[in-house]
Structures are given as C-alpha cells and as structure tokens.
Structure 1
Amino acid sequence: MATSHKRETARRTPRAAVLAGSLAALATTAVVTGGVLNSSAPEADLVAVDRSKAAAGSIGDTGTRLPLLSRSTDRSADAIGTELDALLADDATAQALAGATKRRWTDAVLNLWNRPDQRAKQLGEVEEGEKVLLTGRTYGDRAEIVLDGKARWVTAGHFTDEKPPTLGGACTNGTTVPGGVSASIKKVHEAVCANFPDVSVYGTLRGGGGDHPRGKAVDIMISGPEGWRIAEFVRANYSALGVAYVIYAQKIWSVERSGEGWRGMPNRGSATANHFDHVHVSVY
C-alpha cells in the first residue's frame, strides 16, 4: 500500500506544477497587457503594433480591417500643406509685400502665377528686361514678386543685378513683322528698325524649309557696308535677341562656333542665295 501511495503521489505532483505554471503565465500576461494598455509607450511601438495587425489581416472591434499606418505618407503631406498655408496666409503675405525692397531685372520672359504650387493659375507674363520687386520668399522652384501691389510667383533663377543692354528706341519707320513669328524675331526687328530706320523691307514667314516657315528667321533687306553694320550689330547683341546665327555676304557667324568668328560659305550661285542683298538672322 505504501508503494501504491507513493506512485499516486508521484503522478499528482506534476499536475499541480503544471497548473501552477499555467496560473502564473496567465497572471503575467494580464500584468503585461495591463501595463501596455495603461502605459505611455513610444508612438513608434504603437505604429509597429498596428502595422503587424494590419499585415496579419486583423479585424477591429467594429468589424473593419485595421488600416496600415505610416509616418511618411499622410503626415508629410499634412506638413507640406501646413507650411504652404502659413506661407500664403494673408498676414504673412501682407508682411512680405510691405517689406519688399530688392529690385532686379528679369533675364527671360516669365509666366506669372497666383501661387507657387500645382494648384497655381497663370495670370500673364513678365517681359524680359523688366525690373521687378522681389519679396525674398521662395517655394520650390518659384520666387515671389510684387506686381501692382499684389503677390505673384515666377520661376526663380531668372533675375540679374545688371541692366540688360539697351538696343535702341521705338521703331518709327512703319515697318512690322507678322504676329505669327517668334518673340525673338520681333525683338530683332524692333532693335534693327530703331537703330537702322533706313531699312524698309523685312522678310519673315514663307514656304520651303529652314527657319522661315517656323517663324524663327528674318531677312533684313540691305546690301553693302550698311549690311555689315547691321550684321555686326545683331551679332554683338545675340544673347539679348535670342539669335542662333547670322549670315551675310556669303559668311556665317553662329553661337555654337562663335570662337571661329565669321566663316566662309560655299557659293550658291546668286547674290540672293549667297546673302549679298540681305542679312539673314535665325533665332532659337
């Protein structure tokens, strides 16, 4: 009987240990769970927890699938929105306009926008060589200027401290070029007309190949020494006029090979084909 009793005792001891261990594990789980729920755990941990639940397809108390949270999605967009809203706030804009003192010249034709982001609406243009008032504020690749007392935005990086070269006054001899030509051809005509008013014929749009049909070329009908003075005038102001190359008297000068000066051209068979009776100007 003693032996039988010992065997019974030996069987019951492990069961008690298992039960005690289970109760201890349950108690530990309750304590840990309560600690997590009642503690101020780092936000990163909570994000990680929610991410793991979403990845596992967990279902919340409302019966909907838990969303995947991320630090780099909605929050970055909210931060950008808040920054832009603060920049465009009425008080901030009014302060920027009132404090604007720096004036610079534009070195290109610039589009005007009512705001600096993708929701911007174009309101017009600022001509090249126009002196504008800058507030000093920028956003992305745009800079804020003051125009007629209002804030406007243009592409940054197109301002200069140096006044663009003066190419002459107004054209007074009544000559014009068609509206369909490029802005640079209009500039070439205005500059040449103002400085050489004796030229009365300008050839622009016509059929065939080359730059003429595209509105990017003009023939200034002149010959002799006056033609060379005009050709040199255009060459000297090529940057302000947007000139790509000039041809006169069977010679060519181009921006790409400007270091070579005027270069000779093959004989094309006639005075007109060899550009002895006109200065040809092509622009970009």
Structure 2
Amino acid sequence: MATGRHKRDTDARPSRLRRTRLPLLAAPIALAVTGGAVALGVATQGATSLVASDASDSLSRVASSPSASASTSASAVPVAPSTSATPAPTRRPVASRSLSRTRMYAEVDLNLWSAAGDAATLDGQLSAGDQAVYTGIRRSGRQQVVVDGETRWVTSGHLSGDKPDPAAGALSDAPCPDGSVERGLKPQTVRVYRAVCHAFPEVTSYLGWGARSEHDTGNAIDVMVYGDKALGDRIAAWAQAHAAELDLYDILWYHRIWTPVRASEGWRTFADRGSATANHMDHVHLGTN
C-alpha cells in the first residue's frame, strides 16, 4: 500500500482489459516484491539490530573504561587552571639588625674599642653596671655594642641582661671624670668618691670639701640625686653593704641616719633641720672615720 499522496487524475480511466490483467500480473510481482522487501527488511532489521547491539556494547565498554570516562569528562567539562604547579619560592624576610639589639649591662669595667681587630684603638671605658646596647655581633673575641649612639667593641663574655648588684661587685679605685671633687678630701674619702662614681655613673654631681660638718675636715662627700629617690635608696643600700670596706662613719639620707656602730637599730630619724637639703632629701651624705 502506497504511503505517498499524489494528485488525483480524474481523466485517467483504465480499460476493462487492463483492469482485468493488471491485478493478475501485479499479484505475482507484488508477491515477489513484497517477499523480497520483507526479506530485505528482516535482513536489514537484523543487521541494524546487530550493528546497534555491537555499537551499544562498544559504547558500554568505552563508557566503563576509566580512561574513556576521564576523556569524556575532560572534553565535556571546561578545564580549570592547574593548581599543582610548582609554587613560586617564598622570599624570607631579611631580619632587621635592630630587632636583635638587646640592652645589657657590663659585669666588670670594660674597655671600649673602635673595632674588633688588632688594629683597634682604645676609645673609652664601660664601667661595671653601665648599660650598653648589644647588637648581636661577635667578632675576634669581642662583642659589638652601642654606647651613647656610637658603635664600639668590648671583650666578649662580660655583658649581662640583668643589672648587677653594686654590692656584689668589687669596688673601683680608678680616677673619676671630675677630679676636682677630690680636692681637700682625706684618702679614705677619696676612695669612697671613686667607688661611688664607678658604681653609679648616672650620678653627675658631687659636693666634697666645704665649711660644714664633717666636710670641713675632708671626711665626707654628698652624692647629689636631687628628686630621684629610687636612685638615692640604691646608693644608700650600696653604702651600707660596703660600710666596712669604705671605712664609713655614717650615712644620712632622706631625713634619716644610719651608722655602723648602731647598725642593729637600723635607720633612725633625726630632727628636722628646716630644708630639703639640710634634711638630706636631695643627696646621700657619706662620712668616713
């Protein structure tokens, strides 16, 4: 049965003869054609089914293959930039030399040198207890320090992070920067002055001989601390600890007096003398025997 649609020809009227014979002739032909078509259709359908089946099996095998899946995914999904590339080398920050600087104290009197080598020249002294900034650099048996804003070198092994107790160190008998204070003083009083000026380099003012009690005989010095009570307390405690070595007769500080012969009584308050200086509020008085 034809499936195509054609325009109908109304004038075409076949004769009786043709009408009679056509079906007779067409029947075998139609049968043959139909049989062939059926056979061809069956064969074609079988081949098509076989091809489809084979293709389906092949696709199934390909789809089940890991490499095929990866290939399919790679072709179907946009590829993102790889993050597994070798990372760029990290630049290490250069340590700032200033970060390694540490405030330290001289445990003993130290010479200050202009350099670390043998050609260095002597350029001052760092007294025991003096503060310096250690840069962290060691060379040729010396350590680099900064004193008063200047770079200098000291012998290694004599700097401490803790301020040494003045009483624990040896007394210095080296001359002090201001030698005029020694004028008119007795030898034992000169020794007291030198020991104090090296133990407490922050003190810059002293009073020696004068027309007042104990000073007029050269047996006393006044260590001026002005409003720094904490410093005065340290000096007074240091003097007590070294009273025997310094041959001290008395210590007057902050309206009190201490004497070795009455040490068991501790500090004793004395009568008001009318002013801060007279009451020894701005200086420590050290008298010798």
- Interval of TM-score (by shorter of Structure 1 and Structure 2): 0.3 to 0.5
Whichever of the two has the greater Rg, that structure is: 2
Q: TM-score under structure 1 normalisation? A: 0.40
